[in-house]
Amino acid sequence: MSETVYLNGEFLPKEKASISPDDRGFIFADGVYEVVKYYKGKPFRFDDHIMRLKNSLSALELTFEVNGLDDVFDILLEKNGLKNKEAAVYWQITRGVNKRMHNFPKNIKPTIYAFVFELPSFTDKLKNGIKVITHDDIRWLRCDIKSISLLPNTMLYNKAIENGAEECILIRNGIVTEATHSSILGVKNGKVITHPLTNLVLPGISRKVIHEICVKNKIEFIEKPFTEEELYEMDELIIAGTGTEVMPIIQVDKKLIGDGKPGNLTRFLQDKFFELV
């Protein structure tokens, strides 16, 4: 069965979808994106994803009406036979097609493209935990924008894969920021610690869910920077994201975290997260 995608108001076979080479997404990576996970046809935290999308669009001075996207995504899931599975919708909005110019052109129509794909939970990894590496954070200074310009992220994620790891933790001036496509949270003495929401990190939706779980269950949630040295000394470590959900880290570089097994607080947060799901 041919995959159905959505492009500028049309549902069509993926092989028939085409975008102009003059699209500013292609020329300048001038656009933003979102990914939302669906559990058996129901989106998880859809409104939070839409709010983050609006913030990214605003930061780029990119005007787009987001109402009605949920209907588009429901149709995509239906047409691709993913209504009753764990799946994700990816969509991106670029500034649109125009002759190459560095300033933002006026009165052009944005390009919107969306597709769906199966995204089951990584059950074994959620149970057993993963290994990660660290690297200097080589990204730009507006990591709070969910930009389609992801070359530094992909370079560093590829480095993790080449080193037999599952993710790369990013360090900027000695401070842990986040991972290439996930938030990172540490656990120390029963407290959850993570980088504050600044221009240096993406406001993760799963991070927000964990914060809410902590507040509800009277677990101290501390938003403060922690160092690379403190990273290695955490009792537990977690990466959190739409695809990774609440993922335990059991080893950073060559250093085991805790006893090298997912910790009790991580397990608790996992359980509460999937209760919400």
Residues annotated as part of the active site:
146
SS (H, E, C) the chain: CCCEEEECCEEEEHHHCCCCCCEHHHHHCCEEEEEEEEECCEECCHHHHHHHHHHHHHHCCCCCCCCCHHHHHHHHHHHCCCCCCEEEEEEEEECCECCCCCCCCCCCCCEEEEEEEECCCCHHHHHHCEEEEEEECCCCCCCCCCECCCHHHHHHHHHHHHCCCCEEEEEECCEEEEECCCEEEEEECCEEEECCCCCCCCCCHHHHHHHHHHHHCCCCEEECCCEHHHHHCCCEEEEEECCCEEEEEEEECCEECCCCCCCHHHHHHHHHHHHHC
Sequence-ordered list of residues with C-beta below 8 angstroms from that of 272, at least 6 positions apart, any chain: 213, 217
Spatial contact of 240 and 246, defined as CB atoms under 8 Å apart = yes
